[in-house]
Structure 1
């Protein structure tokens, strides 16, 4: 009889074939109420890889929270082999306040690996990297566009880690975008620890988008199937998805005028140089400026704000 490996997370033994809900108890509110971060661990009956699914590093990026909620609700996170760790909301403070950052204005995703005696964001980062990350082999970090910026579904990977391209292709987002790792970000530090991390971007903050949610859910199923954690052959065959487009370089095209902004195309569209994608006008009907694309590419992100200033980012244009 094969002896299964023991697994202990947050001083709790995770038994094979069981679901265990843990609480990462880090901080308290001003009234001394505990702020606990639920960590949902589902272990298969057989040993295998450990996949971490995390969202809510930015508290207002709720579409990632919805993706993990959907995975748990549909019991997709139950592996036959290995373990799936779900953290739907890491930045609980931002989630409660519907803001991106911590109460002290710190961006959690710039404070990894953190410090036990640092700022509140740094303390959260420290416990995440020391209590949870040592158990993970693979990680999918779910994000959305900030403010009014809507992102097409995309996996971001670094050129420095070409082995991640296969994982991104398995996930099958609309786009695979080569993007450098930000200094002191979760992705950078977890990768330095030897973990295989892919970052999913889709939708915008404080918004649910069904298409983005289902891309994320299907992508996790494909990833688990690829890693041999569970057979999702029927689900995968029922959701045929086109191969992702690899974006080698991207940049934001900015507004030359301020005013009322309206878009004519959908995200993900292929565009050609000189193509009109929107218009900017003043509130009084005295002028209307047509927004033309500067070069060929794909719209991987767009500004949904109805009012823009000169210099505001309008279109995130990716080239292959």
Structure 2
């Protein structure tokens, strides 16, 4: 990917100012030899400006993120006033076809970055993304959801001590910002090493589209585009209903018993130590164990699985807020 004299070249395709293009991000065919097209939707304004990349579907079962990027495209939010907006709604199309988190080679795409040109299928996709798309991008917003039946409150995840990311996170205005380390071989960490600003959005759970979560994601994206001077006049920005809570530290509260689980506290709630968060029961009416908060804080993830085992993560609770 190159930008020379305001002519953007992606995968040997030139996109001039004011143009719209759809390019296929092809890596491999299915085992039936059928082609698998991963569309890259590019919208360029006539005026120069930042290049923003919206991505989703790194994990094939995280359909809520795909829906957010779809709405950005369907509503015309991706048509910038200045600069360029690139949308890749489904990066792991192989997993998306079967609603599986991993690639057909069994690898988690978000653990093989920056990838290699001659590695596994997942590694090749990672390499192509980092080599052919990311280099000229100024800002990336990557949409994810909770996995394994765990529902995430809408949140932005960034690393600490980064003023630019903190500013963008405040602009996005999700209900929560969770400071977390960049995981080795993740998309976020590889972008960080290239000096690319990335906001990682988490919200909802896999195999599920939640209207509230998609609304948070779309509205946050619009706020960032407005902040960058890119939002077109047809798109309106709404103010967040609550102030963003910045979380320095958090912990998982785990099940003390195996059994049938029912959470009774809404996601995003603030609880006090000792509050009842839910119940673990057995099928025979003998066990009815209350799950009580081990510390005060905000509930930023709830396990919605009806069956849990001893040691399973039930709630993700903040323990230390940024002051």
TM-score by length of 2: 0.96
Residues 10-53 of structure 1: CA distance to partner in whole angstroms, max 9, x if unpaired?
11111222211000111011121122210000111100000000
Aligned residue number for residue 288 of structure 1: 288
Aligned residue number for residue 80 of structure 1: 81
User: In structure 1, the residue corresponding to 2:53 is in which secondary structure?
Assistant: strand
Whether the aligned pair in 2 keeps the contact of 1:41 and 1:83 (CA below 8 Å) is yes
Q: Tell me by how many angstroms 1:234 deviates.
A: 7.3
User: In structure 2, the residue corresponding to 1:279 is in which secondary structure?
Assistant: strand
CA distance in 1, matches of 2:233, 2:141: 18
Task: Tell me if 1:298 matches 2:298.
Answer: yes
Task: Tell me if 1:20 matches 2:21.
Answer: yes
Task: Tell me if 1:163 matches 2:150.
Answer: no
List alignment gaps of at least 5 residues for structure 2: none
Matches within 5 A, 1:178-257: 178-230=179-231, 235-236=236-237, 238-257=238-257
- Residues 152 and 140 (structure 1 numbering): CA distance in 2 closer, same or farther, change over 3 Å? same
Task: Tell me if 1:96 matches 2:97.
Answer: yes
Aligned residue number for residue 136 of structure 1: 137
User: In structure 2, the residue corresponding to 1:125 is in which secondary structure?
Assistant: helix
| Number of matched pairs | 317
Q: Tell me by how many angstroms 1:256 deviates.
A: 0.2
- Residues 269 and 44 (structure 1 numbering): CA distance in 2 closer, same or farther, change over 3 Å? same
Whether the aligned pair in 2 keeps the contact of 1:43 and 1:84 (CA below 8 Å) is yes
Residues 69-114 of structure 1: CA distance to partner in whole angstroms, max 9, x if unpaired?
0110000010010000000000011000100001111000001110
CA distance in 1, matches of 2:188, 2:92: 16
Aligned residue number for residue 264 of structure 1: 264
Aligned residue number for residue 6 of structure 1: 7
User: In structure 2, the residue corresponding to 1:101 is in which secondary structure?
Assistant: coil
Q: CA RMSD in A?
A: 1.4
Task: Tell me if 1:67 matches 2:68.
Answer: yes
CA distance in 2, matches of 1:303, 1:175: 18
- Residues 91 and 234 (structure 1 numbering): CA distance in 2 closer, same or farther, change over 3 Å? closer
Q: Tell me by how many angstroms 1:240 deviates.
A: 4.0
User: In structure 1, the residue corresponding to 2:7 is in which secondary structure?
Assistant: coil
Whether the aligned pair in 2 keeps the contact of 1:301 and 1:317 (CA below 8 Å) is yes
Whether the aligned pair in 1 keeps the contact of 2:158 and 2:199 (CA below 8 Å) is yes
Aligned structure 1 segments of 4 or more residues deviating by more than 4 angstroms? 231-234
**Relative to structure 2, which stretch is displaced further, 30-39 or 307-316?**
30-39
User: In structure 2, the residue corresponding to 1:47 is in which secondary structure?
Assistant: coil
Whether the aligned pair in 1 keeps the contact of 2:279 and 2:288 (CA below 8 Å) is yes
User: In structure 2, the residue corresponding to 1:48 is in which secondary structure?
Assistant: coil
Whether the aligned pair in 1 keeps the contact of 2:6 and 2:17 (CA below 8 Å) is no
CA distance in 2, matches of 1:78, 1:4: 21
CA distance in 1, matches of 2:76, 2:184: 35
